[in-house]
Structure 1
């Protein structure tokens, strides 16, 4: 049983989770497009007008982190998270239950790591929000850092939920028959 993209028979909360992951992915892709335009304008400004756009390096550095956390839930959902599967593929043929158990351990480790990321980032998000922390230089360009922290927390939480959904999908019993 593939635990990649969910099926129509998934319960409503999992379908909503998939919609959220898709929306986050679209947002991340839109951010990539915006960065491409911004970088192109910056390069054109440097070469044609001798004046770069202010804040482009800061926006790129903030956006890269946001893009990773926006697109990771969909990447996991689609089964495209980079990893080596040679051993797992062999085990799936010989012992599907052992392969599923190894996948479960992998997913539980992912849950632990991303829950820790969300838990550790939350206080920084609150602090940056309350203090108005920014990146850049006053008078030239400034951008608040809290939106990226919020994206890290949200992306981590949705990724934790996607790991849980993978486990559920792997072990669900379709039509009352055990897998």
Structure 2
């Protein structure tokens, strides 16, 4: 049994759900996807560390009446950091929430039009994440310069600038990922075969 050589042209823009961007022939300049995969792995390790922290806090409270100081603050900061660490890889792998019913149906019936619409949506995504990056950057600088922290002096304090830096890096890389996906979509829209007639 052989594969249909034109089956890839009928694949909806963005690939089959759960398959990821690479299956749709996404360009991978400089192996950009590996950066997101590395950050995603770092976020996974971070999650494991949080699990250990929360377990230690529970055991300390229940058995010794001594909770881990700063556990609540660390968890609060970590959730934000983990989300931004894993954003680029989630987008590249096609795990972002989207209106698949409309896009996939359009991609199957009119592949070139579907790819163009997908490209426009990816451009809007790039714009949104660029605005997030621009908005968070001064917050990072402020936190770095004044030594902003969470917690209480003489009990527990944690600086906020590392998490804000992670937010800047994650949102900037996600914006770049959106642009790469838009580039791929527009290439498909221009170069797709005329199977949408």
**TM-score normalised per structure 2:** 0.82
The structure that has the greater radius of gyration is 2
Does residue 40 (structure 1) correspond to residue 55 (structure 2)? The answer is yes
Q: Residues 105 and 85 from structure 1, CA distance in 2 versus in 1: closer, same or farther, beyond 3 angstroms? A: same
Q: CA deviation at 1:168?
A: 2.3
Partner of 1:86: 101
Distance between the aligned counterparts of 2:120 and 2:184, measured in 1?
15
Q: Secondary structure of the residue that 1:82 maps to in structure 2?
A: coil
| C-alpha separation in 2, matches of 1:57 and 1:116 | 29
Structure 1 residue 168 corresponds to structure 2 residue 177: no
Q: Where does residue 153 of structure 1 map in the other structure? A: 168
Aligned partner of 1:66 in structure 2 is: 81
Q: Distance in 2 between matches of 1:101 and 1:5?
A: 16
Q: Which residue of 2 aligns with 1:28?
A: 43
Is there any run of 5+ residues in structure 2 with no aligned partner, and where? 1-10, 15-19, 193-197
**1:8-56 CA distances to partner (integer Å, 9 max, x unpaired)?**
994543x1x2111011101111110000000000000000101100001
- Aligned 8 A contact 1:125 1:150 in 2: yes
Partner Cα separation in structure 2 for residue 157 and residue 57 of structure 1: 28
Partners of 1:116 and 1:164 in 2: how far apart? 14
Q: Which residue of 2 aligns with 1:51?
A: 66
Aligned partner of 1:98 in structure 2 is 113
Residue 178 in structure 1 maps to residue 178 in structure 2: no
Q: Which 5+ residue runs of structure 1 have no aligned equivalent? A: none
Contact preservation (8 Å) 1:70, 1:151: yes
What's the Cα RMSD here? 1.9
Specify the SS of the correspondent of 1:6.
helix
Q: What corresponds to 1:6 in structure 2? A: 22
| TM-score of the aligned structures, taking structure 1 as reference length | 0.90
Q: Is the 8 A contact 2:27 2:180 kept in 1?
A: no
Higher mean C-alpha displacement, 164-173 vs 96-105: 164-173
Cα 1:12–1:98, aligned 2, differ >3 Å: closer, same or farther? closer
